[in-house]
Amino acid sequence: MVQQSTHRIIFVGGTAGCGKSTIGELLTETLNSQASSISGDDNKDKAGKSTDSTKTSVFIEGDKYHPQANIEKMAHGIPLHDDDRWGWLENLGNLARQESTKYQNVIVSCSMLKLAYRDLLRKTIHGGSEDDGVEVFMFLLYNDYQVIYDRMTKREGHFMKAEMLKSQFTDLELPDVTKEHNCFKVDCNEDSPDVITSKVLKIMESSTY
Ligand SMILES: Nc1ncnc2c1ncn2[C@@H]1O[C@H](COP(=O)(O)OP(=O)(O)O)[C@@H](O)[C@H]1O
Ligand SMILES: O=C(O)[C@H](O)[C@@H](O)[C@H](O)[C@H](O)COP(=O)(O)O
């Protein structure tokens, strides 16, 4: 079990369109609701969401932190290269670390397709020491190409178009949990966001600290 005093940084990753934002947001809301029902603090807004004063978890949408040049590249259908990604990943790692001093759980959506990207995130967060009271979890949401492609063609107003999905699958390096601590592939199939979020929570619950 994760110790109560441990702050968690939970990355939700995978290819474009796999559901990072959807699951990241739902996971954050679920953790906030759990915390407010445990504390008996029922400060909810009209939509039933936890209010700021009760929040123990925060969501960071990784796409919001891309430099403009990256957004323009992707919007023009040009896949990013490693050199476009290092600075973005480092910023996200630093931001997550910073937020973890304020929140019990920091949830970050970030594709982190390659092992080297995940290594950089872990290194940025922990520096030299992993014994720093911050536990990093990484989840790579996985679904069949066609399922994601179809969803992306229906998604409106996003800079990333479905045609970019091929290059995302080419870059994708799925994790092997025996080699990457606390890094898990989550098979999404046709599961609903609620079911996927429960899977993620269950994995964290059963992981040892
Ligand atoms: N489990 C799911 N079942 C059905 N549709 C989903 C599911 N997860 C996400 N979606 C839909 O798929 C699209 C892509 O999801 P999104 O969260 O934006 O992915 P990402 O952040 O990984 O690019 C959105 O239109 C979203 O509503
Ligand atoms: O919502 C999406 O479609 C994705 O999140 C998408 O925006 C993309 O995956 C990365 O943010 C770009 O970076 P990568 O090329 O490193 O995935």
Residue range 96-111: mean pLDDT, rounded: 97
Mutate which of 11, 12, 15, 22 for ligand 1 pocket (most atoms within 8 A of beta carbon): 22
Distance, CA of 153 to CA of 81 (rounded, Å): 23
pLDDT of residue 73: 94
Q: What is the pLDDT of residues 141-151, one digit of tens each?
A: 999 999 999 99
Ligand showing the shortest atom-to-Cα distance for residue 162: 2
Within 10 A of 111 (CB to CB), how many other CB atoms are there? 24
Domains and CATH numbers, the chain: 13-129+136-204 (3.40.50.300)
Query: What is the identity of the amino acid at 37?
Result: S
Whether the per-residue pLDDT at 3 is higher than 60: the answer is no
Q: Which ligand is nearest to the CA of 120?
A: 2
State the closest ligand 2 atom to the C-alpha of 74, by its place in the atom list counted from 1.
12
Would you state the pLDDT for residue 41? 61
Question: According to the model, what pLDDT value does residue 173 have?
Answer: 98
Alpha carbon nearest to ligand 2 atom 6, residue: 16
For ligand 1, whether the C-beta of 151 sits within 6 Å is yes
Tell me the pLDDT tens digit for each residue of 144-180: 999 999 999 998 888 888 889 999 999 999 999 899 9
CB 27 within 8 A of CB 197: yes
Higher pLDDT, 45 or 141: 141
pLDDT(42) > 60: no
Q: Which amino acid is at 69?
A: A
Strand partners, 138: 11, 183
Three-state secondary structure call for residue 108: strand
- List, for residues 48-82, the tens digit of each pLDDT value: 665 666 799 999 999 999 999 999 999 999 999 99
The per-residue pLDDT for 1 is: 44
pLDDT-derived band of residue 36, with 50, 70 and 90 as boundaries? confident
Test site for ligand 2: of 111, 112, 164, 165, most ligand atoms within 8 A of the Cβ: 111
Q: Which of 151, 126, 128 is nearest to 14 (CA)?
A: 151
**In angstroms, what is the span from residue 9 Cα to ligand 2's centroid?**
19
Query: At residue 98, does pLDDT exceed 50?
Result: yes
Distance 130 CA to ligand 1 centre (A): 32
